[in-house]
Amino acid sequence: MLRLVALETIIERQIDGSHQRDDVMIDCLGAWRVLREGGVMLMDDDTWKPDNPDAERVTPAVDTFLASHDDAEVILGSHQIAVRKRPA
């Protein structure tokens, strides 16, 4: 049985899938859109394969996402990046 959850109740999202920059960006943007204020989004594998080209890494997407979202407060920075959604 599928249980539906109202979007305003989403308080945590984890991004851990593809390691391709463009896929990560799409995942971040989609998750952020439905994350409520005060919610936390975790982005995994930020330090994964630092010598790969940018298109094959997580970090460029995370950096671009953070640079374009003033409402994202970094609360943990390491292999996982955790950001809290501040009021817009």
Cα separation, 88 vs 69, whole angstroms: 9
In this prediction, residues 52-71 reach a mean pLDDT of 94
> Which pLDDT belongs to residue 80?
86
pTM for the structure as a whole:
0.78
**CB of 46 closer than 8 Å to CB of 72:** no
What secondary structure letter does DSSP report for 60?
H
| pLDDT, mean of residues 49-55 | 91
Quote the pLDDT of residue 78. Answer: 84
Q: pLDDT tens across 16-42, in order?
A: 567 888 988 998 898 898 888 898 888
CA distance 78 to 32: 20
Q: Evaluate whether 22 touches 61 at the Cβ level (below 8 Å).
A: yes
